[in-house]
Amino acid sequence: MDKIVINGGKALFGKVKISGAKNASLPLITASLLTDKPLFLHNVPDLADIRTLHKILASLGVKVTQKAEHSWEYQADGITSFTAEYDLVKTMRASFLVLGPLLARFGECKAALPGGCAIGLRPVNFHLDALREMGADIEIQEGYVYATTYGKRLKGAEITFPKVSVGATENTLMAATLAEGTTILNNASIEPEITDLAECLQSMGADISGIGTSRLVINGVESLHEATHSIIPDRIESITYAIAAAITKGKIEITDARLDHITAVADALTAMGAEIKPLPNGFSCSGEGKEIKGIDIVTTPYPGFPTDAQAQIMALMLTAHGQSTINETVFENRFMHVPEMQRMNADIQLTDAFSVTIAGSSELKGAPVMASDLRASAGLVLAALAAHGETVIDRVYHLDRGYEDIEAKLSACGADIRRIKAPVKGDSENGNSDNITA
Ligand code: UD1
């Protein structure tokens, strides 16, 4: 397993170009299953999760072809399988997003249950209940979801999600585009990634209204067609580099980014004393000469403070003056980075399973630490950038799932960061690589 070594304590100055959003790309790639015509996606980030999804699609018979750097063509005109195998699904929950599209277009799908993960139980009951309301017969056997419509089209239905769920909204939205009649999704997620998906589906011929609101109305159509779509910038990546500037008391210009997608975080960073300035193609964040103060944060679905930025803001809170608190309301086990940060001399107390108190003014010290999930790894990288001495972060494959070229982007701003490569082993992952042309 690769490791990342950081010698902290250097203020970062420079420019970082933000990649396409991972969490928008994943559903958009599975949307290609909705039509036999090609879907061209631009600004697809080069990430481990994208490569995993390419393998899953290829294993179903989708032709996955790289057209240029960050541009891919997907054509599902020769589907040979309706099964998303456990070996691939277990590495990435978002692969469960093949369910809605396959069921809508072919009336059939067998998908491995994703199971729990480091940040919580993460069930898929909302996805299954919604598809059942649309007429699918769904059974769970031996860790697999078997879904069928018995050869019929899915039927439009009025669905009210019990809780806001990004994945359930995406799966159901995609399924509804090809359903017979009208589907109404109440309490739908309004994350920018959902809007991006809905807009791409519209350019594929879907009839969707209420985009950007929590009530989506989808009039099903018989088929979708070819489309080209450019993926929105990764808001969590942009937040991570903004915090890198604030925590090192430097200044980073974050380009190809959308400040309007990170309003809650920009407000929090401003309240903490960092300076955020809009730029024509992004924004800048500065901690230069600023006193960073503690703050209280509650994570909630969009447009609230994102759970995916919780570990990163925690790193900044460690070095801030005064106490901070975080109340995590989205996932039940998302403080795995706390004991690792404590190894770096952080003063954090778990109040209960959902909240932490951070004393502030910690003199962070480099230490060997271990990444437990994607965003926890980003939190550890940020803490390491501010720490005195060397931090060695193990299990950085988590980081590689969601951050393209992180060492290069941080080095360009003056960070002392390097990767220790693990010996390369053979590619033992499943998937039909014959269908992937890169
Ligand atoms: C997506 C994001 C992830 C982000 C999360 C919340 C992708 C690929 N991943 O994950 O980065 O942290 O949104 O913003 O976009 N829940 C259920 N039953 C369900 C579905 C969800 O109880 O069927 C619960 C979850 O356990 C969690 C909450 O609902 O507590 C929100 O989860 P959800 O929005 O579905 O997260 P994901 O789509 O998995």
- Residue of 330, 373, 375, 399 to mutate, ligand 1, most atoms within 8 A of C-beta: 330
On whether the CB atoms of residues 178 and 104 are closer than 8 A, the answer is yes
Helix pair 22-31, 166-177: axis angle to 10 deg: 30
Ligand 1 pocket test, pick from 165, 214, 375 with the greatest ligand atom count within 8 Å of Cβ, gives 165
CB of 365 within 8 A of CB of 383? no
Residue 120 has pLDDT above 90, yes or no: no
| 3-class secondary-structure state, position 417 | strand
Residues serving a catalytic function are 117
Q: Is the pTM for the entire model greater than 0.85?
A: yes
Query: Can you tell me the mean pLDDT for 82-109?
Result: 93
Question: 267 Cβ partners below 8 Å, 6+ apart?
Answer: none
Q: Is the pLDDT of residue 326 over 80?
A: yes
The protein residue whose alpha carbon is closest to atom 1 in ligand 1 is: 166
Q: Which ligand 1 atom is at minimum distance from the Cα of 97?
A: 8
Q: Hey, whose CA ends up nearest to atom 11 of ligand 1?
A: 308
Closest ligand 1 atom number to CA of residue 166: 34
Q: Is 80 exceeded by the pLDDT of residue 119?
A: no
Tell me the domains of the chain and their CATH numbers. Answer: 3-19+233-420 (3.65.10.10), 22-232 (3.65.10.10)
What tens digit of pLDDT does each residue of 145-192 get? 999 999 999 999 999 999 999 999 999 999 999 999 999 999 999 999
Atom 34, ligand 1: residue with shortest CA distance: 165
Q: Cα-atom radius of gyration of the chain, to the nearest Å? A: 22
CB contact at 8 A, 319 and 348: no
CB hemisphere CA count around 330 (13 angstroms):
21
CA dist., res. 215 & res. 321, Å (int): 42
Give me the pLDDT at residue 430, please. Answer: 46
Q: pLDDT band for position 116 (50/70/90)?
A: low
What does the alpha-carbon distance between residue 2 and residue 270 come to, in Å, rounded to a whole number? Answer: 35
Give the residue among 235, 252, 234 at the shortest CA–CA distance from 243: 252
Q: Give 129-140 pLDDT, tens digit per residue.
A: 999 999 999 999
Residue 422 binned pLDDT confidence (cut-offs 50, 70, 90): confident
Q: If you take atom 37 of ligand 1, which residue's CA is the nearest one?
A: 167
